[in-house]
Structure 1
């Protein structure tokens, strides 16, 4: 299971989303990967900024968009629980 936060420097909403994600994911023994879309673009990968740059922060769960602008904690917890149950089965 992978949880990724797409963000950018100076984004207050991104800081809040990161704190929420780290708190929630810790309950599941998971870590959050944080990708700065501007830094990625500067390094040559402009695709993330082109697709997601106007609605950051964006939360990706297993590479698929789960939400943006804020963390929907009940939904995220439900999805993480379901994925963990499938993994344990």
Structure 2
């Protein structure tokens, strides 16, 4: 399993919420790709921040790579891997 860290320390941030099945699926992909490439990721619950809830609402999970939005709803392993290898 890859190391989780604070959002500022991680190249990948996964915005999610508890009980979200798409978030569970995304977490598996993010964890596997980050472990493969030796990267860390951070997971942030949008339920803990009203601004994040407003911003992302029903588009979760949302992934960011290097501070830029990468995907939402689904995470494609090949696309995430390519973004991390740039």
> What's the TM-score, normalizing by structure 2?
0.82
1:1-89, aligned counterparts within 5 Å?
Answer: 2-39=11-48, 41=49, 46-82=50-86
C-alpha separation between the residues in 2 aligned to 1:6 and 1:50?
12
Q: Greater CA radius of gyration, 1 or 2?
A: 1
State the Cα deviation string for residues 25-63 of structure 1 (Å, max 9, x = none). Answer: 111111220000002x2xxxx221111121100001112
**Would you say how many aligned residue pairs link Structure 1 and Structure 2?**
77
5+ residue gaps in structure 1?
A: 83-89
Which consecutive segments of 4 or more residues in structure 1 shift more than 4 A? none
For the aligned residue pairs, the C-alpha RMSD in angstroms reads 1.1
C-alpha separation between the residues in 2 aligned to 1:47 and 1:63?
17
